[in-house]
Amino acid sequence: MAEQKQFVGQAEFAKGLEGVIACESTMGYVDGKEGKLIYRGYDIFELAEHSTFEETSYLLLFGKLPSQSELDDFKQKLVQQRAVPKEVINALKIVAKTAHPMASLRTGVSVLGAMDKNAEDESIENYTSIGISLIAKMATIAGAITRFRKGKKPVDPDPKLDHTANFLYMMNGQKPDDYTARVMDVSLILHADHGMNASTFSSMVVASSMSDMYSAITAGIASLKGSLHGGANEQVMHMLDEIGSVDKVDAWVDDAIATKKKLMGFGHRVYKAYDPRATILGEYSQKITEAHGRKDLYDMAKRMEDKVIAAYGERGIFPNVDFYSGTIYSAFGIETALFTPIFAVSRISGWAGRVIEYVTENRLFRPRAVYTGEMEAKYVPMAQR
């Protein structure tokens, strides 16, 4: 835990709120010491092997695995909610070509909220309804952003496809093969929730003021955009592009260590063991990059992992989820700038679930700051300054 400071005998604080307990939750648990990630009691390895993103989203929203009829109903609701108003598409058409994709995504969700006449309904039923709608629509918005950035028209959702297959279809205009869809589905499962991370906390803070679900999710998107959070997977690919080839990895890492350059995709505020999500994605990266003719990406990443662990492993610095996810998306031919919107398409399930859980017994977040300024400054008239 970070060093804490006393606040005039009344309170303590840690920079970045590190280690501070802000609420109780049954949503998920991160065991950083043992390298475990739990959703509603289920180990992430179990969910990645056996579950789907739709089922995992249901689990996060409702606290239990669904029956077959419940899952069928949930999936049908997602299909029915995929379409977005033309006003949203028109707004995206204006901003998507030049803005960062996460800024475009933020804009799209804001427009959705402005158009929803029920947005101010504070009932849990309405929050849940909006959450389901946003799980469906975030994929459609991200798909439209992808198309506009390519100078192409958006692709309409296909009601015959499952959520993740449809997402890839709306991005690429081609229906994915089963294995590609499954790998992306696993990636979405792994990114769906992760404790009180910055974007989740941002969403919960906004929701705690009883603003509305759209505002809360917009705040989450804004936070996820940052390079220290969701944007880290973009930075990993920029780093690998800078290195260029596997034979240059050793020298690059040695120089980075000597100059104390930040190694993107390594280390985590919580994990002091190997990130379980990176374990799963690392295995998929090896298979996907080879299948798509981009094994160079995996080879560079794996060599870099070996070098960094040899240097810093004893200090608990290992690859995190961002390290291998980018190699998979790149092998799929996805533009680097779109990696973080994919993250958001997944994390919306966790954001919505935690917001709903928190507002059920809501209390406004109102922390204090340690004041370190003057206490008895005297006002000086303008003529005397």
Catalytic positions are 229, 268, 322
Pick from 269, 226, 262, 205: nearest CA to 100 = 226
Q: Is the dihedral of CA 71, 77, 79, 84 positive or negative?
A: negative
Query: Which H or E run includes 42?
Result: strand 42-43
The answer to whether the CB of 75 falls within 8 A of the CB of 54 is yes
DSSP 107-129: HHHHHHHHH-TTTT---HHHHHH
What does the H/E/C string look like for 136-204? HHHHHHHHHHHHHHCCCCCCCCCCCCCHHHHHHHHHHCCCCCHHHHHHHHHHHHHHCCCCCCHHHHHHH
Torsion of CA 73, 76, 82, 83, to 10 degrees: -120
Amino acid (one-letter) located at 322? D
Please state, in angstroms and rounded to a whole number, the distance separating the CA atoms of residues 286 and 283. 5
Please state, in angstroms and rounded to a whole number, the distance separating the CA atoms of residues 194 and 191. 7
